[in-house]
Amino acid sequence: MTHLYASHAYTWGGILVIVVASVIGDVLLARAMKQVGDVHEIWDRFGLWTVIARTVGNSNFFLGVSAMAVAFFSLLFTLSWGDVSLVAPAAASLTFIGNAFAAKIFLHEKVDRRRWMAAVLVAAGVALLAG
């Protein structure tokens, strides 16, 4: 019994790490691209290389990609001891909810009632699909 609880604790701990790393990654990437500016405008005026140079040269972009890599490898490790039908949908849907909170707090997005509804519906839908 104790072993079972320990296994559950590890799985949920793994899910928590995946969710936190994904949310940090998404927020950093979103912030990086807002700092870069509207890609279409820059592309039209200065060309594709300017878009690539500004993106790759942004420190938030690198931090975001690193956080995404952490999320990916934690997913792999968690899958190796947890149940796929729990880990994948739980991580995916909790990431949607976490992102809505993080976008409001850190990116100052206007997450109104419609966007909350969207986040909750998508999270529930993803949980049902992958479950």
Residues that bind another protein (CB under 8 A): 26-27, 29-31, 33-42, 45, 53-55, 57-58, 96, 99-100, 102-103, 107-112, 114-115, 117-122, 124-129, 131
Residue number, 8 or 48, with CB nearest to another protein: 48
Instruction: Annotate 25-59 with DSSP letters as a single string.
Output: HHHHHHHHHHHH--HHHHHHHH-HHHHHHHHHT-H
> What is d(CA 50, CA 98) in angstroms, rounded to the nearest whole number?
32
Residue number, 8 or 84, with CB nearest to another protein: 84
CB 71 within 8 A of CB 21: yes
Residue number, 13 or 131, with CB nearest to another protein: 131
| Minimum distance from residue 68 beta carbon to another protein (Å) | 9
| Minimum distance from residue 5 beta carbon to another protein (Å) | 26
Tokens 């976008």 appear where? Answer: 103
